[in-house]
Amino acid sequence: MELYGLIGNPVSGSLSPKIQNAILNQMGGIYISFEVSREHLNDAVNGLRVLSHGFNVTLPYKEDVIGSLDSIDGYAKDILAVNTVKVEGGLLIGYNTDVSALIALVGGSVGSALICGAGGAARAAALALFRKGCNSFSVVDRSEARARDFGNMLRSWGASVTQGQCEIADAFVNATPMGMYADDGPLIELYKRGKYRLTIDLAYRAGGTTLQKISANAINGLDILVEQAAHSIKIWKGIEPDRQLMKKAALGD
C-alpha cells in the first residue's frame, strides 16, 4: 500500500484525509495526517522521504518546509511556498497546488484585491489573482514585517501595493485561519467596511464560515481544498480525479 500524508500543526480538524482517501484508497493508497512540531519538521519530512510517495503541507509550514526539500517547481518558485511534495527517486520536489486551484476556480478577470494575511496561502492567492489580471493589491496582516515582505514580493511582479484596507476592490481574500480556528469578528468588521465583487475564503468549517455566509459571491474554503487536493493527486498519480466524489467524502455523504 502506498503512503501519502499531510503535515502541519494543528491537523486534527483537517478534511484532507477524507478527501484524498476517497480517491487514493481505490488505487491502493492511504492518506494519513501527521501533527508535527516545528522542531521535528525536518525529521518528519525525511521520514516521509523514505516511507511515502508524496505528502501535503499545511499551516504553518508552507514556507519553512522548503529548506528540507531537494527542489521546488512551478508556482512554488514564484511565491516560495509549498503545499504539495512528490517523492521521486528518493528526491523531494515541492509544488504549490493552491495557486493552480484558485486559477481554476476564479472566473473572469480580477483587477484589484484586498488580501488578509501574508503567509504562504496569501502568496498563493495573490499569484492566482495576478495571473487573472490583478495588478493592484492591498495587504492587511497583524505583522507589519510580514506584510512589508509580502508587499515587496508583489511589487517585484510589477503590481501596485498599499498597506491596510481599501474600501473598494474586485476581490476580498481571507488567507488567515480566522473563521476556522479562531474568532472571526475582526475579519468580518474589515469586510463590512468595504465593497467587493468577489470573496475568496481559504478557511473552511462545517456549515461554512461567517464570511462565506454574508458574501453574495464567495469561493469557499472547501471547494478550494478539494480543487488543490485534486491537483496534488494529478502530480502524484498522473490522473484527473473525480472532484464530486472528493467533495462528497468531505461532507460525509
Q: Name which of 44, 15, 20 is nearest 31 in CA terms.
A: 20
Nearest 10 degrees: Cα torsion 228, 231, 233, 239: 150
Same domain as 236, residue 203: no
Same domain as 228, residue 212: no
Hey, what's the cell of 13? Answer: 480538524
Domain count, the chain: 2
Which one of the listed residues 18, 62, 132, 213 is annotated catalytic? 62
Question: With contact defined as beta carbons under 8 Å apart, do 200 and 106 qualify?
Answer: yes
Same domain as 235, residue 169: no
Helix ranges, 91-242 (H): 97-105, 120-131, 144-156, 185-192, 210-214, 221-237
Sequence-distant (≥ 6) Cβ neighbours of residue 221 within 8 angstroms: 180, 201, 202, 203, 204, 205, 209, 212
Sequence-distant (≥ 6) Cβ neighbours of residue 156 within 8 angstroms: none
Same domain as 107, residue 215: yes
Same domain as 241, residue 197: no
pTM of the model: 0.93
Q: Which CATH number does the domain housing residue 184 bear?
A: 3.40.50.720
Helix, strand counts (H, E) of the chain: 10, 12
Domain holding 200, by residue range, is 100-219
Along the 253 residues of the chain, how does pLDDT read in single tens digits?
Answer: 999 999 999 999 899 999 999 999 999 999 999 999 999 999 999 999 999 999 999 989 999 999 999 999 999 999 999 999 999 999 999 999 999 999 999 988 999 999 999 999 999 999 999 999 999 999 999 999 999 999 999 999 999 999 988 888 999 999 998 888 667 889 999 999 999 999 999 998 888 899 999 998 999 999 999 999 999 999 999 999 999 999 999 998 7
Question: With contact defined as beta carbons under 8 Å apart, do 118 and 62 qualify?
Answer: no
Active site residue 62: yes
One-letter identity of residue 64: D
Q: Which CATH number does the domain housing residue 86 bear?
A: 3.40.50.10860
